[in-house]
Structure 1
Amino acid sequence: MTQNIQGPSHLPAEVQHSALLQLLTNSLILCHTTPYLSCYDVLNLGATSRAFRYLVHHTPQVFRRLELATVKAAQFDIDAIDHGGQTWRNVRVDESLTEDDFYSGPLRGIFSSLRRHDILRDVQVLSLDGLSVTAELIHDILIDPSYAIRILSIRDARNLNERKLRASLKYACRESRATGTPKLKGLYVFGPKDAAPGLLSTKPTVPPTAGVASTWNNKSQKALTADLVDEPEAWYARRGQQFPRRISSEWAATLIDCDGVIAFDAVLCTGPRHLNSPAWGTVSIEALDAASNPASRSVPHYGVATHSLGGCASCGAAPEGWTVWGEDRFAAARDACERRTSNSSSSDIGRFPLLAPPPMHSSNLKAAMCPTGQSIKSRLSSLSSTRQEKARFIPRCFDCIRDRYCASCCRWWCENCYLGPWASGLGGHGGATDTEADLARVTKSCWECGMNCHECIDFTQRMCHRCGGGYCLIHNEGSNMIACDCKAFHSFSH
């Protein structure tokens, strides 16, 4: 153990005269410490002496994870170039300067400096959250062999042309690509960037003369901070909508093109209306269209999942089954998908989403996808199913849960238990069966979808004073003037 701490004999003699150097020459301690330091702090550590410089710049794992969001030189505080005729002052712009050079200038300058110091080749996990990132810069990371980045995070990036980014990803994942390319295996792009640690650890100061109200405000602030720190894990623990912004439908084709090559922090919807679903063909699409809201009858062939669901409120399952961590794709479902699309893959890349934040001590893709408390190895996850509950979820897009999902309590009804608000029977507004009381259009059920969810619908606030009909949160959100079945407009009390 003493020899391991002292390190190899080829290190300079100054290593033996510093306790900190002796500690950090243990590569295990050094590689588990540097991810918590900023790049600026690590470089300052290497600038203190020749021994530290040798230690920092000759240990490849030191710069394995690089986060540039906190680097001052990477910030881009200039607005768009075209200000509608406004005059720029104190700024000289070269006529040959392209838009990409302008917006990606800070990051390209940092990458050039890292390349000169032989640091860029060691970076495997790179975070550019909230910075000015262009699609051309991502294209270079995908194609340029000097980059060894395996996991990239560009959440809430500015000046990013998503159309060009999708084209670059499609080109990088083409079937005629060279063996071993692209090196990038994981891309965080849809979710929000991680909250700054300083915001979560800030404690409000209460003056000595503060009263009872200030004391309780302080306690409430601490409770809120604890809730933010212990936020449920996306997809597996946190149900409902997963992303704060709308995702373009064109991203579904990109996820199809990158299936088995690059993983994202989102997955494809597995609803039975989509061609990639294991349940495609098991549910009558014509019956669903006839019983659904006219706005939801045009569902694309593929869709990006934006909601994580549990089991159906009636049957506790879903037609396509669960997405369970550690279980391989079912052979029948895989064969069915291969008959419908030529580029389907049995790999976990594309089946499981990347979980935020990116891994601290590893560049392994499975480490970025593995839920908390589960094993990275799929075989061990299957063997440990008797000791702990398996992490699982049902990914769905909004088109597949419209008229069958409650945004308040996150309960939903599958296609086998509830066809839609225009299904035959129950006065033309009922469900698939007459035995489901929750889906029947009875008094105090939603006029639009027929659901009767007591946890989310407060009909003392959402019922018509004339006919007694009400609307659920889905069909009455943001409005207090709605036409009910009595063919008249009535105000809803608030």
Structure 2
Amino acid sequence: MGPLVTGEGLPSTTLADLLSNTLVLRQTAPYLPVASLYALAATSKSLRHIVYTAPESFRHLDLSTVKSAFVKYVPLDSGGISWRSERMDESLTEDEFYSGPLRGIFSKLQRRHLLHHVHTLVLDGLSVPADLVQDIISEDRFNVRILSLREAQNLNERKLMQVLRYAVRPSRPAGTPKIKGIYLFGPRERAPVEDPWSRKNSSGTASTGVTRRRGAQIGAQWNHKSSDALNTALARTEDRWYQCSGRMLPRKPSLEWAETLQACDGIIAFDAVLCRGPRHNPENATSGNGAGRTDFYLRPAIATVALGPSGCDTCHSSPEGPAQFGHSSVSELPLLSPIPLHASTIRAAQMPHTIDGSRPPPLFVRCEDCLKGRWCERCHKWWDEKCYTPSTVAQRTELQQTEFIETVQSTGGIEVVTKNIIKVGDWGVCEKPADTSDFQTIGVRRDCFGCGHTCISCKEIFIRRCEKCGNEYCHEDNDASSLTRCDWCNYTSRRTVEMY
């Protein structure tokens, strides 16, 4: 790796000269896997010195692609069958076994004086027991600021909650904990997969299913790309938390996690935030619309639904107000994916990147309990408490909801409560508009189990009435139906009744 000599006799710049520049190494190292860094260090003494001594080399450490970080023997014991042929110490606990690969990697990094330089640690999909997380948070040999545990295996969540609550206790030492952000609830980034049309089954022939044909795959892929492009254009950002993305988390977190996030408020940020709806405020339960109602107040819950930057479909706002990057507190903004490569700060992890470089859009997020009866799962249109309040029946029971448009058109369906507030059937109350026909766009109901709760506009698009039997059906989820007949009337073969 010596310097190259040009035609004029002047030495050219080598790779070691470039990487010795701190700015170049800081911008380049996060893109290299760990195996590539070690391979680079093995090429020459100068590069080895740069990789193993510069703090920027391992500032962003992603172990999710390292083969030695995975546990080879899972499960630990399946039905009394011997899980490993080698003899092991009987004092070895289950957590120590599952954390063995990562502890070995951390020991090697510590011996080479590299572990203290790691500020962003990615452990997505690996075996990470709660005891190992406790060591990362509490021990001085670690200096991690951003930790990613998405889809981690063998992670006891209740024990992790205890670890986090102990780390943020009021009597903790000054300057602790060092960790400032944790990715835990969202899905991890997936590596690009191969072309699905080139896959073949075990017999060596391509799949002949209708949904696996190339035309169907191309159509589904372009529909998905069109939807993403539309959401990006409307929200002016590619960050899904700021788009009309709907449900953001693969599973609903428990109420205990909401209490843990509440305890970590202002100390540790997460890739999820608490719902700030008015029903989570104890003061609103005893005053205003919640006075005298035992079912109005809700315990703290994590917001799982991204509603887009437009707010309520009627007033384009919300009672609690949107969260705005640069103005709202850290606890009101989630950590965004992907994880930042060149910085290990909460600001870099929470900053939305707009496509035109303009001001970041507002953030409207809520939990599903605050959106029950007021959020369309197809077009993601929603109404806040000031513009529409579903009835108690609509909030508790899905099957007892009545069709809103028929209630408006029926005689006596509209009842004046106050000067500007009117009641419409069993749906609830809302502000009195200038035209009664505006009620057709307020409220949701579940006409199809596949579509979920949809508004009147989406119902007119996807729900049809059979011209033969007169029953309503969803032409998208009922595979055997047509545009004019339901699946039962469209079936032309002989029918038989199966008694058993």
TM-score bucket (shorter structure): 0.7 to 0.9
Pair 1:361 & 2:342 matched: yes
Question: Residue type matched to 2:347 in 1?
Answer: K
1:458: Cα distance to partner? 5.0
User: Displacement, 1:275?
Assistant: 2.5
- Residues 116/457 of structure 1: CA separation in 2 closer, same or farther (3 Å cut): farther
Structure 1 CA distance for aligned equivalents of residues 93 and 300 of structure 2: 35
Once residues 33 and 358 of structure 1 are traced to their aligned partners in structure 2, the CA distance between those partners, rounded to angstroms, is 16
Maintained 8 Å contact 2:273/2:332: yes
Residue in 1 aligned with 2:458?
455
Give the direction of change, closer, same or farther, for the CA distance of 1:323–1:95 in structure 2 (3 Å limit).
same
User: Which residue in the other structure is 1:306 paired with?
Assistant: 304
Q: What is residue 118 of structure 1 aligned with on the other side?
A: 113
Deviation at residue 47 of structure 1 after TM alignment: 1.8
1:87 to 77, 82, 89: 82
- 1-structure distance, mates of 2:213, 2:106: 48
Is 2:379 the partner of 1:392?
A: no
Q: 1:229 to 1:127 in 2, by over 3 A?
A: farther
Structure 2 residue 384 is matched with structure 1 residue 414: yes
After superposition, residues 184-263 of structure 1 pair within 5 angstroms as 184-196=179-191, 198-199=192-193, 232-263=238-269
Structure 2 CA distance for partners of 1:140 and 1:471, relative to 1, 3 Å: farther
CA 319–102 in structure 1, closer or farther in 2 if over 3 Å, else same: same
CA displacement, residues 306-342 of structure 1 (integer Å, 9 cap, x when unaligned)? 01114111221111111111224xxxxxxxxxxxxxx
In the alignment, is the contact (CA less than 8 A) between 2:273 and 2:333 conserved in 1?
yes
Match of 2:202 in 1: none
| Partner of residue 374, structure 2 | 404
CA apart distance, 1:70 = 0.6
The AA in structure 1 aligned to 2:190 is A
TM-superposed CA distance for 1:452, in Å, is 4.5
CA distance in 2, matches of 1:99, 1:224: 46
The Cα of 1:248 is off from its aligned counterpart by 1.2
Residue of 260, 264, 273 corresponding to 2:270: 264
Matching of residues 72-83 of structure 1 within 5 Å: 72-83=67-78
> Within 2, Cα distance between the matches of 1:17 and 1:447?
71
Higher RCO structure, 1 or 2 (CA under 8 Å, sep 6+): 1
Residue 172 (1) aligns with residue 170 (2)? no
The code of the aligned residue for 2:279 comes to: R
Closer/same/farther in 2, CA of residues 389 and 94 from structure 1, 3 Å limit? same
Equivalent position amino acid for 1:325 in 2:
F
Residue pair 2:427, 2:443 contacting (<8 A) in 1 also: no
CA distance 1:248–1:285, change in 2 (3 Å): same
What's the CA shift for 1:349?
2.6
Following superposition, the deviation at residue 255 of structure 1 comes to: 0.7
Per-residue deviation, 1:165: 0.5
Shift of 1:492: 8.8
Deviates more, 1:252-261 or 1:71-80: 71-80
State the partner residue of 1:43. Answer: 38
1:368 and 1:471, CA in 2 relative to 1: closer, same or farther beyond 3 A?
A: farther
Q: Deviations over 1:249-302 (max 9, x none)?
A: 11111111100100000011010011389x88775125877xxxxxxx475321
Identify the residue that residue 10 of structure 1 maps to in structure 2: none
Residues 139-158 of structure 1 correspond to what in structure 2 (within 5 A)? 139-158=134-153
SS in 2 for 1:316: coil
What is the Cα deviation at residue 407 of structure 1? 0.7
Displacement after TM superposition at 1:102 (Å)? 0.9
Cα gap change, 1:28 to 1:37, in 2 (>3 Å): same
Contact 2:281 2:297 in 1 (8 A): no
Cα 1:491/1:220, change in 2 over 3 Å: closer
Cα deviation, residue 455, structure 1: 2.2
Give the equivalent residue in structure 2 for 1:102.
97
Cα distance in 1 for partners of 2:469, 2:81 equals 57
> Would the alpha carbon gap of residues 159 and 406 (structure 1) be closer, same or farther in structure 2, given more than 3 Å must change?
same
Is the 1:440–1:450 contact (alpha carbons within 8 Å) kept by the matching residues of 2? Answer: no
* Change in CA separation of 1:459 and 1:349 when aligned onto 2, cut-off 3 Å: closer
Alignment-derived partner of residue 381 in structure 1? none
Question: Aligned pair in 2 of structure 1 residues 218, 458: CA closer, same or farther (>3 Å)?
Answer: closer
Per the alignment, in what secondary structure is the counterpart of residue 403 of structure 1?
Answer: coil
Query: Equivalents in 1 of 2:466, 2:432: separation in Å?
Result: 24
| CA distance 1:94–1:228, change in 2 (3 Å) | farther
Q: Among residues 354, 365, 368, which one is paired with 1:373 in the alignment?
A: 354
Aligned pair partner of 2:130 in 126, 135, 138:
135
Q: Is the 8 A contact 1:325 1:390 kept in 2?
A: yes
Count of matched residue positions in the alignment of Structure 1 and Structure 2: 422
Amino acid at match of 1:51: S
Structure 2: where are the runs of 5+ without partners? 4-10, 200-205, 207-211, 233-237, 395-414, 416-422, 479-485, 491-500
What SS does structure 1 have at the residue aligned with 2:260?
helix
Residues 266 and 305, structure 1, Cα contact 8 Å, conserved in 2 = yes
- Within 2, Cα distance between the matches of 1:251 and 1:92? 39
2:496 is aligned to none
Secondary structure at 1:126's aligned position in 2? strand
CA 1:268–1:442 in structure 2 vs 1: closer, same or farther (change >3 Å)? Answer: closer
Tell me by how many angstroms 1:459 deviates. 6.7
Please report the RMSD computed on the Cα atoms of aligned residues, expressed in angstroms: 4.2
* Matched residue SS, 1:300: coil
CA distance in 2, matches of 1:368, 1:407: 28
- Which secondary structure state, in structure 2, belongs to the residue aligned with residue 69 of structure 1? coil
**How far apart are 1:441 and its partner, in Å?**
10
TM-superposed CA distance for 1:31, in Å, is 1.4
| Counterparts in 2 of 1:305 and 1:438: CA distance versus 1, 3 Å | farther
TM-score normalized with structure 2 length: 0.73
Secondary structure (helix, strand or coil) at the match of 2:182 reads strand
Residue segments in structure 1 that go unaligned for 5+ positions in a row? 1-5, 7-15, 290-296, 329-347, 375-383, 479-489
TM-score of the pair, normalised by structure 1: 0.74
Aligned to 1:344: none
On the 8 A contact 1:190/1:266 being kept in 2, the answer is yes
The answer to whether structure 1 residue 352 and structure 2 residue 324 are counterparts is: no
Distance in 1, Cα, partners of 2:368 & 2:443 = 27
